Structure 1
């Protein structure tokens, strides 16, 4: 009751086997309890005496008096009484309490996000319409241009209303996920079913199967479903085929840029135009992101007005310009690898793009790119020959790539014209077999970047082919045991074949020329041996969990190798030739017993990870000489001794299992932090 008065909280009394009048007047069962309490107050006094000065009788009476007043006030509040609710049915009573509390929390907390400027009015406008026909199945469309706030509005409505439904599902990016593929629609149907039933084991074998299951499930429960960014009538037919699919009271919200999709479907009860921000709302939103308050900083008023004129009331544009917040995501390190392998100065280029607010780089190294900018880039690629993908220098649409690789001219005559223009291919979730892919690549004599995912089938010896011009090759699940014999790797700088069948780069005793190779990622592959003398320019080597790996040859010093991951693999000889190494990952190396002295001599080493090396029981004192060491991870390892010199390294972060503190001679993290120069464990 004190919190309700002083902290703006709400007390909600629940009267369980007691009447409000008994609480208010301290009569009946409550009166009896109070009598026992006062009678046994010597126990109360004894407990108090243990923690503070002895209480006087007046103080004890005052304490009891405060309880009486608090209970009287509580009994006067609106609450719920078991006796008069559902005839005392406890389970139904509990459900009612939970529902009431959730609704109260929603009404307090939702639509009050300070960054959702003007959202409350917009949400309540749509909600009032939905509530007017609450017992009917209603489908409404929210339309508007990209970046106008359709998704944000739909999400706010979903959050505001979802507590009232028996099932709910917010389906994002319908357009992108279902693009040109029935597997995408199956994935979305499965998501709706799993969300509504809260059962992740549900599967969908086909779009037709998904429709049958949705009809069967959705008609038996009142649901709230949001289909975000719909652009094709087939998507609605697969996900919300008819109002008869749904139980009475269900609500379906569809956001789209294309009003015709809603009109043609003839399913929608209402088409709602998303309202762009007013000038006052735009100023408030922009200032909150750019200056951290509701109005521009002094001296920035005119600039802010110019920005808002450009943004034209589009909330997303205002956010991007105000905070550089973007919507596409990719790891910065991976992007740099690919770009630098293809001859671009990626570090400088990304820095310039970030300064111009065209991309963002988060603290965890993710690149952000707004979808409008991505769309603009794709239009630039396609604008000269929009209907001739074989003349585009970059290919990313699965159906177009499959047509180019699998058409009859390529398969049988190898005389298809125009594919010489192709510089980059990214092929995901293809049904093409590896031999068809390799046949189709024979005409791409200028290909620089190739990414292939989930190919099937083997490859005949005659079909094994990769363009010699490749600079960056990513092929997870690569089916062959080595690179094609005809593939001249003179230009290759980036090779990634994760979870592949490759066990050696070259067939037999032949040695590939890999003088330009800088990045090699073969983790989870079947690689058995590798000679680093073939790759003297190598900067990154990832051999994590290569279970068949036996030997890593290091005949020469590798002065450029910065990153080495041998987690779960064998630790090779010759580590003393890696004096410039900065990151070493040896997680779960079960054969590792002692830390080699060569590691203690890596003066540039910044990150040393030894988690779950259970046979390693102590670290050498010489590790204290690694003045560049920033992070030491020994979580789950068998280490029972830490060298004293480790604690003298400035800025070092030590990661370990809390349960091993005693074995190190410490009793708490607070105690050990006093010993580290950084104070950070």
Structure 2
């Protein structure tokens, strides 16, 4: 079990996830633990708790181990804290502890050279640097391997993808990251990420959300302890008190920029970026744009983001995205939640959306046509758009639509073409007068919420596959 455990919360949820992994069952409840432990007792298990730095983790997972681990099963605990190991065995035999010998300087250099230069002759300029790495690693073989692999990153694409993950995507869902980096570097992401994993620079861990599992990308623990410097904003350009004013042409000379994230939170303080004279344009090669609290009314007078994959601007001051039509065929994820001044959404019928979040955009009146990508978990979230009256044509694979607390009076007929629609939330749509007469043919619809729909006086026949229906 990888070091990802240190990021999990303690207690009952940790125990549940632990036994879920050990038993290889997708989803378990506490009522199931007794029977699962009985089955585990009859198996020969090898469990590794790697790089444990908290004794409470061991105690919560293994406190009743004699009830479900037989004499042939083994538990291995690794830690850089000797006290954790000592306390975990309690009064056990001291021989149960194996202390890893550190390497002498000569052997340590040989191991570092092997991973940093792959056995090639070492340039004199690198020898002094190598000795500093070896001194930092203190003779630990894993540290030498990881640091050597870091130095070996010569290929530009590997280096760029590694830095993108470290700077933007640590702890993110791999599928989410893949969407962006495939757009940046072509379809070579899968190959490069495996190289980075093999070099111990990036790690993968499985995480769960209910019954769903997904892969999380992290950087290796040891590298997190090394200061990594990247692009930053210092106090140059800060005017007044806690405010950064940007020129309209701030991105003009950044034509190659592909990833952009501006945060308004700096060490707990809210330091907004301002565009007092508007914005001319974003770099045309942008794939990932995140700007919480974006301060302008639109995305620029010369907006041309044909390569954009992710647009993340919650709590923005946007009134519209752009003028005219944009062929954003790569656009997959849009988050404009709490953009209270947004009155209309530009035509996205050429996009390939996976997820659109417009929740609580309270000035939004009409939703233009939307096209969703061929995925199985497309989501359209319009909850709390309290002035939304018209939802136009929708097509593609949408699994969940949330229209709760909106002013819609009827659903667009195109909703009948959504063959994978699983959940529809119409709660507190007080102006909704009727449902589509063909709703009984929505074969994939299983969840329908309609509490507070006070204007409906007649219901058509509902689909036979409905499992959850709320009419309160």
TM bin (shorter chain): 0.5 to 0.7
* Cα distance per residue 1:187-233 (max 9 Å; x no partner): xxxxxxxxxxxxxxxxxxxxxxxxxxxxxxxxxxxxxxxxxxxxxxx
Distance 1:281 1:487 in 2: 65
Using a 3 Å threshold, how does the CA distance of structure 1 residues 549 and 643 change in structure 2: closer, same or farther? same
Q: 1:446 aligns with which of 249, 256, 269?
A: 256
Give the gaps of 5 or more residues in structure 2.
Answer: 1-11, 20-48, 64-78, 99-139, 142-169, 265-270
Tell me what 1:593 maps to: 409
Aligned twin of 1:522: 336
Contact 1:585 1:610 in 2 (8 A): yes
Matching residue of 2:357 = 542
Q: Could you tell me which residue of structure 2 aligns to residue 477 of structure 1?
A: 293
How far residue 621 of structure 1 moved from its aligned partner, in angstroms, is: 4.7
Query: In the alignment, which of 440, 445, 460 is matched to residue 629 of structure 1?
Result: 445
Match of 2:144 in 1: none
Cα shift at 1:447 = 2.1
Structure of larger gyration radius: 1
* 8 A Cα contact 1:494 1:517, kept in partner: yes
Residues 45-82 of structure 1 show CA distances to partners (whole Å, capped at 9, x for unaligned) of xxxxxxxxxxxxxxxxxxxxxxxxxxxxxxxxxxxxxx
Of residues 122, 132, 152, the one that matches 2:55 is: 152
Q: Which residue of 1 aligns with 2:157?
A: none
Q: Is the 8 A contact 2:171 2:218 kept in 1?
A: no
TM-aligned CA deviation for residue 500 of structure 1: 0.2
How far residue 645 of structure 1 moved from its aligned partner, in angstroms, is 3.9
Q: How far did 1:369 drift?
A: 4.7
Q: CA deviation at 1:527?
A: 1.6
- Distance in 2, Cα, partners of 1:627 & 1:494: 31
Unpaired runs of at least 5, structure 1: 1-108, 117-145, 161-255, 259-270, 284-310, 313-327, 390-394, 412-430, 661-681
Q: Is the 8 A contact 2:174 2:216 kept in 1?
A: no
- 1:196-211 equivalences under 5 Å are none
Separation in 2, partners of 1:559, 1:148: 42
Q: How many Å separate the matches in 1 of 2:462 and 2:94?
A: 61
Counterpart check, 1:552 vs 2:363: no
SS of the aligned residue for 1:479 comes to coil
The Cα offsets for residues 274-311 of structure 1, whole Å up to 9 and x where unpaired, read as 5376899799xxxxxxxxxxxxxxxxxxxxxxxxxxx9
Q: Secondary structure at the match of 2:283?
A: coil
Q: Which structure features the higher share of strand residues? A: 2
| CA–CA distance in structure 1, aligned partners of residues 338 and 470 of structure 2 | 26
* Alignment-derived partner of residue 282 in structure 2: 466
Whether 1:501 aligns to 2:404 is no
C-alpha separation between the residues in 2 aligned to 1:366 and 1:463?
41
RMSD: 5.1
Which deviations, in whole Å up to 9, do the C-alpha atoms of 1:614-670 show, x marking residues without a partner? 344664552110112233233454467654442x22xx431426xx3xxxxxxxxxx
The separation in 2 between residues aligned to 1:457 and 1:372, in whole angstroms, is 29
2:246 match: 435
CA distance in 2, matches of 1:447, 1:522: 22
Residues 626 and 452 (structure 1), Cα distance of their counterparts in 2 relative to 1, 3 Å cut: same
3-state SS of paired residue (1:362) = strand
* Deviation of 1:498 (Å): 0.9
**Residue-by-residue CA offset, 1:303-362 (whole Å, 9 max, x unaligned):** xxxxxxxx99xxxxxxxxxxxxxxx85456644554455356699689989x99832141
The answer as to whether partners of 1:332 and 1:366 remain within 8 angstroms in 2 is: no
User: What are the equivalent positions in structure 2 for 1:20-419 lying under 5 Å apart?
Assistant: 148-153=51-56, 274-275=85-86, 329-331=171-173, 334-343=176-185, 358-364=204-210, 367=214, 369=216, 373=220, 375-376=222-223, 389=229, 395=230, 401-403=232-234
Shift of 1:148: 4.4
Report the alpha carbon displacement of residue 273 of structure 1 after superposing the two structures with TM: 6.8
Task: Kindly indicate whether the alpha-carbon contact (under 8 Å) linking 1:527 and 1:548 is maintained by their aligned counterparts in 2.
Answer: yes
Shift of 1:540: 3.6
Aligned residues: 319
CA contact (8 A) 1:635 1:655 kept: no
CA distance in 2, matches of 1:462, 1:616: 39
Verify the 8 A CA contact 1:595 1:619 in the aligned structure 2. Answer: yes
* C-alpha contact 1:150 1:274 (8 A) present in aligned 2: no
Secondary structure in structure 2 of the residue aligned to 1:491: coil
Looking at structure 1, the residues matched to 467 and 189 of structure 2 have their Cα atoms a distance apart, in angstroms, of: 27
SS at match of 1:530: coil
Residues 435 and 464, structure 1, Cα contact 8 Å, conserved in 2? no
Decide whether aligned partners of structure 1 residues 153 and 439 sit closer, same or farther in structure 2, where only a CA change above 3 A counts: farther
